[in-house]
Amino acid sequence: MPKRIYALDFDGVLCQHPPNIEWEEIKTYPPSPECVKILRYLSDFVDFYVLTARKETAEIKQWCQLYGLPDMEVTNIKRNATAYIDDRAIRFDSWINISKLIL
């Protein structure tokens, strides 16, 4: 049976940094100790990839390696996943409920 795949957002999930700062400053923020520990443990059971809107995919890959995160592909192309983990997502269940959240 193939492993489940989870897509992780970079900003706000892997790297929690203040808003409206440039990449040069963002890359100085480390992941939380819990992030590293839990992803290293879970990577024995599931696969992860980093899904980002950022153009700095190679730099994000280096950032992940620098901080000891599991080896993950970094892309800005949304691919199939069991779930997408994003701090700014709205879970879709119906258009009625979405309209209530938006208005």
- Tell me the pLDDT tens digit for each residue of 10-50: 999 999 999 999 999 999 999 999 999 999 999 999 999 99
pLDDT reported for residue 74: 98
C-alpha span between 31 and 79 (Å, rounded): 24
Q: Say whether domain 5-102 belongs to CATH 3.40.50.
A: yes
50/8 Cα distance (integer angstroms): 5
Q: What is the pLDDT of residues 43-101, one digit of tens each?
A: 999 999 999 999 999 999 999 999 999 999 999 999 999 999 999 999 999 999 999 99
Q: Would you list the domain boundaries of the chain?
A: 5-102
CB count in 10 Å sphere of residue 14: 27
Contact 73, 49 (CB under 8 A): yes
